[in-house]
Structure 1
């Protein structure tokens, strides 16, 4: 179980770092992004481990990555290129 938690935390950190590196203009502060990625991965690993039980290491990491990516996607802001200016009468 320790390896599952460590592996999922490292996976969440890697996903969050990649997201912060690729989309810095659409995400909030880097510390929030990194902590959300790790927390999401740990929660995903816990959830998957609870549902499947022990002995499914790769599936647990897949569940951790899915929950981490889902939480990171909630932090995204809209792109600025579609900004509309208000029309004055």
Structure 2
């Protein structure tokens, strides 16, 4: 279980670094992102380990990455696009 925790924390850190590299303009402060990735991955590993039991290292790490990515996606701000109002919508 120790290796699952360390592996999931490392995967969460790599996931948050990749998110910062790709979506830096749409994410809040980098310290929050770097803390959310490993925390989400550790929570995901805990949930997957609880559901699957011991001896399933790869599925636990996949669950850690999925939940870590889901938590990081909640930090994303919407893309900035200008929405034009049509003239028929104001009439």
TM-score, normalised on structure 1?
Answer: 0.91
**1:53 corresponds to which residue?**
53
- Point out 4+ residue stretches in structure 1 off by more than 2 angstroms: 83-86
- Which residue does the alignment assign to 1:23? 23
Q: Which residue of 2 aligns with 1:71?
A: 71
Bigger-Rg structure (1/2):
2
SS in 2 for 1:55: coil
Corresponding residue number in structure 2 for 1:10: 10
Aligned length: 85
- Deviation digits for residues 22-58 of structure 1, max 9, x if unmatched? 1100000111001000100000000000000000000
Alpha-carbon separation, structure 2, partners of 1:83 and 1:74: 22
Structure 1 residue 83 corresponds to structure 2 residue 82: yes
* Ranges in structure 2 where 5+ consecutive residues have no aligned partner: 86-91
User: Counterparts of 2:30 and 2:38 in 1: how far apart (Å)?
Assistant: 12
**RMSD after superposition:** 1.3
Give the TM-score normalised by structure 2: 0.89
**Structure 1 stretches of 5 or more lacking a match?**
none
SS at structure 2 position matched to 1:75: coil
Q: Residues of 2 paired with 1:54 and 1:12: CA distance?
A: 20
